[in-house]
Amino acid sequence: MRTRLTTTRLVLAVVSTSLEQLAIWVIWRWLLPEFGVNLPVAVLISIMIAWGAFSIWFFVFTTRVLRKQAEVGLPSMVGAAGKAASRLSPEGLVRIRGELWGATSNEGVIETGEEVVVVGERGLKLLVKKAGGSTTH
């Protein structure tokens, strides 16, 4: 599916760049002379090459950006540090990256305000331990 989308984007990029190149030529051939501006063919070719190079760079750049998978959700939280927003005995709330998450302590009771580190996930809850503590599951 991803290859198909990239191919579709490539076809659209080629068509749009071709239309842009045609527009540059039309402006050079008919519009500029109307205003008394006569540019040499070498300038036209330089502009068209520069625009083509920019279009290729832009396509490659956006393709790389679109291919990157954003890490979201619970699996991306493993290793993140935060603070207990409520007492975890063993369940409670933690604040990580500015968000409140339901969490379960792997080390018994964790008091409000203590630093925690995410060590895993279970269902929709984070598994946390005290920062600097041992990792147990």
Same domain, 58 and 106: no
Fill in the amino acid letter for 134: S
Per-chain mean pLDDT for the chain: 89
Q: What is the CATH number of the domain that holds 80?
A: 2.40.50.140
State how far the Cα of 115 lies from the Cα of 84, in Å rounded to an integer.
7
Kindly state whether residue 15 falls inside one of the protein's structural domains: yes
Same domain, 10 and 48: yes
- Is residue 120 scored above 70 in pLDDT? yes
Provide the whole-model pTM: 0.53
User: Which pLDDT band holds residue 27 (cuts at 50, 70, 90)?
Assistant: very high
Same domain, 87 and 117: yes
- Is residue 97 scored above 60 in pLDDT? yes
Angle at which helix 2-26 crosses helix 41-67, to 10 degrees, equals: 160
User: Which pLDDT band holds residue 121 (cuts at 50, 70, 90)?
Assistant: confident
Same domain, 92 and 48: no
Containing structural domain, residue 87: 76-130
